[in-house]
Amino acid sequence: MLHCSPNMQNTALAPRETLVSALNARLTHHGATDVLRAAFDAVPDLALVSSFGAESVVLLHLAAMVKRDVPVIFIDTEMLFAETLVYQQELAERLRLSNVRIIRADDIATEDADKTLHQRDTDACCALRKTRPLQTALAPFQGWITGRKRYQSGTRAALEFFEVETGTNRIKVNPLARWAPQDVAEYMDENRLPRHPLVAKGYPSIGCAPCTSPVAAGEDPRAGRWRDSNKDECGIHFVDGKMVRKGAPQ
């Protein structure tokens, strides 16, 4: 059941769009921590989706301070870097996250037995290993928390703290929507948060090992994702039923 604080006046029974509008209006000048607290108050049944990638530690740290037992969904595509798997375990322990759920697709053996699907059809591989398992994992929840930010692409330039996900009617919470790149770096430094080990090796954006390469100085941070192709998004975010192909994943 959706909830709301007393000053939202009956929005709990109104459509999700009304609740989202009320939350965005009330929290216009608030920070990420306040957004998370309000999110858990209004939509208690929330999950946080994390890739445990280059910037993931910021959102995970914030969430751990507000609700340490928030369900954290981590999709193991079975093609991730070994460094990512180790980082996931170490970070969960350090932040004392008590409800990390590691999700894997159950049909890889039949649809990609030789593990070459990514060479033939990257979209199909992402759908098989990440998008479909995530949608299944999110099915029991009324909303989810992402690490998306306005600066990541033009399509996210007007991103709000709260939105209704088209097609599922779930509420998406974007506590870091208004953060700039320097805000992310400063937060990591101030809180002495551990970086993903591959960042120091030239990987500012980290996905599956076969489809991620180092980025040279001066290149776009996501240049190493699906290099030499027109693909730059795994497909976990959708607008009007279509895969969003701009900006970094959460």
Q: Assess if residue 250 is contained within a domain.
A: no
Assigned domain for 102 exists = yes
Residue 120 inside a domain? The answer is yes
Q: For residue 245, what pLDDT is reported?
A: 40
Q: Give the pLDDT of the chain (250 residues) as one tens digit per residue.
A: 455 444 443 334 348 899 999 999 999 999 999 999 999 999 989 999 999 999 999 999 999 999 999 999 999 999 999 999 999 999 999 999 999 999 999 999 999 999 999 999 989 999 999 999 999 999 999 999 999 987 665 555 678 999 999 888 899 999 999 999 999 999 999 999 999 999 999 998 899 999 999 998 888 777 878 776 665 554 444 444 344 443 333 4
Give the total number of structural domains in the chain. Answer: 1
25 in a domain, yes or no? yes
What pLDDT does residue 216 have? 87
Contact 139, 45 (CB under 8 A): no
Supply 37's token pair: 């607290």
**Cα(154)–Cα(246) distance, rounded to whole angstroms?**
8
CB atoms within 10 A of CB 114: 6
CB-based burial, 213-238: b 16+ in 10 Å, e otherwise: eebeeeeeebbbbbeeeebbbbbbbe
Tell me the residue ranges of DSSP E strands in 63-183.
72-75, 100-103, 143-145, 162-164, 171-173
Task: Answer whether 61's CB lies under 8 Å from 67's CB.
Answer: no
Cα distances (Å, whole numbers) of residue 242 to 41, 141, 143: 30, 21, 19
In-domain check, residue 225: yes
Range of the domain at 121: 6-243
Residue listed under structure tokens 């699906």: 226
pLDDT computed for residue 6 by the predictor: 41
CATH number at residue 91: 3.40.50.620
Q: What residues form DSSP beta bridges with 243?
A: 238
Q: Does a structural domain hold residue 29? A: yes
**Domain assignment of residue 179, yes or no:** yes
Which amino acid is present at 16?
A: R
Q: Specify the pLDDT at position 156.
A: 56
So which residues are the catalytic ones? Answer: 234
Cα–Cα distance for residue pair 155/248, rounded to 1 Å: 11
Question: What is the per-residue pLDDT for 224?
Answer: 76
* Residue 167 zone, left/alpha/beta (φ > 0; ψ -120 to 50; rest): left
Residue 191 lies in a domain: yes
Question: At a CB cut-off of 8 Å and minimum separation 6, what does 58 contact?
Answer: 147, 176, 184, 187, 188, 193
